């Protein structure tokens, strides 16, 4: 079942092809998880929803609120014993941004959101946002088992936005 599910997800997201041209892996600091009791996928989804609202607002200004404009994005959550819950995502660079400028904005907003919990020594390990290359989509679904908390990887249905 898992192989069929992963294949279906890959087909679904591959429809977007080159539109999803930026890949990202986002982590939260352990201090943040301890203070906010952030050990669940639901907690991470909430953090990502806040992040994407800020990113959408910066990119689309009033159109984010007035016309519900959002960045095209594919988001999966993964849990590992060494890292805990973290996110893998593919994003689409907005038309009015250069890719490098958009990557810088996306990284700045994530680090700003988590900065009060961040140890400067580990700051660089909390986000990796770069142009998409190779088989990134396959990497994002490697642990997907569905949408249940008891699995090692899930789709973040709260934060995926793939318009037609």
In a domain, 73, yes or no: yes
Output the pLDDT for position 145.
Answer: 65
> What six digits make up the tokens of 24?
């990202």
In a domain, 161, yes or no: no
Nearest one of 132, 146, 123, 126 to 22, comparing CA atoms: 132
Output the pLDDT for position 9.
Answer: 73
- Whichever domain contains 84, its CATH number is 3.30.70
Give residue for tokens 């080159």.
18
In a domain, 123, yes or no: yes
In a domain, 108, yes or no: yes
> What six digits make up the tokens of 65?
């609120």
C-alpha to C-alpha distance for 28 and 16, rounded to whole angstroms: 28
Q: Point out which residues pair with 78 in neighbouring strands.
A: 86, 153
From first to last of its 164 residues, what are the pLDDT tens digits of the chain? 466 766 777 777 777 667 889 999 999 998 999 999 888 999 999 999 999 999 999 999 987 777 888 999 989 999 888 888 999 999 999 999 999 999 999 999 999 999 988 887 777 788 999 998 877 777 777 777 655 555 688 888 899 998 87
In a domain, 137, yes or no: yes
Output the pLDDT for position 130.
Answer: 92
C-alpha to C-alpha distance for 151 and 164, rounded to whole angstroms: 29
In a domain, 67, yes or no: yes
Output the pLDDT for position 149.
Answer: 55
Domain count of the chain? Answer: 1
Output the pLDDT for position 131.
Answer: 92
Structural domain containing residue 44: 2-155
In a domain, 162, yes or no: no
């Amino acid at each position: 079942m898992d192989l069929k599910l992963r294949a279906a997800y890959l087909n679904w997201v591959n429809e977007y092809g080159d539109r999803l041209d930026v890949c990202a892996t986002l982590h939260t600091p352990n201090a943040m998880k301890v203070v906010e009791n952030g050990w669940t996928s639901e907690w991470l989804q909430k953090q990502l929803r806040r992040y994407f609202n800020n990113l959408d607002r910066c990119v689309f200004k009033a159109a984010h609120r007035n016309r519900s404009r959002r960045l095209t994005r594919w988001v999966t959550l993964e849990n590992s014993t060494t890292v805990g819950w973290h996110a893998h995502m593919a994003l689409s660079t907005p038309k009015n941004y250069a890719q490098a400028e958009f990557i810088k904005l996306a990284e700045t907003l994530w680090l700003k959101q988590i900065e009060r919990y961040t140890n400067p020594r580990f700051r660089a390990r909390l986000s990796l946002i770069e142009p998409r290359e190779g088989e990134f989509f396959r990497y994002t679904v490697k642990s997907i088992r569905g949408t249940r908390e008891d699995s090692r990887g899930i789709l973040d249905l709260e934060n995926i936005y793939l318009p037609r």
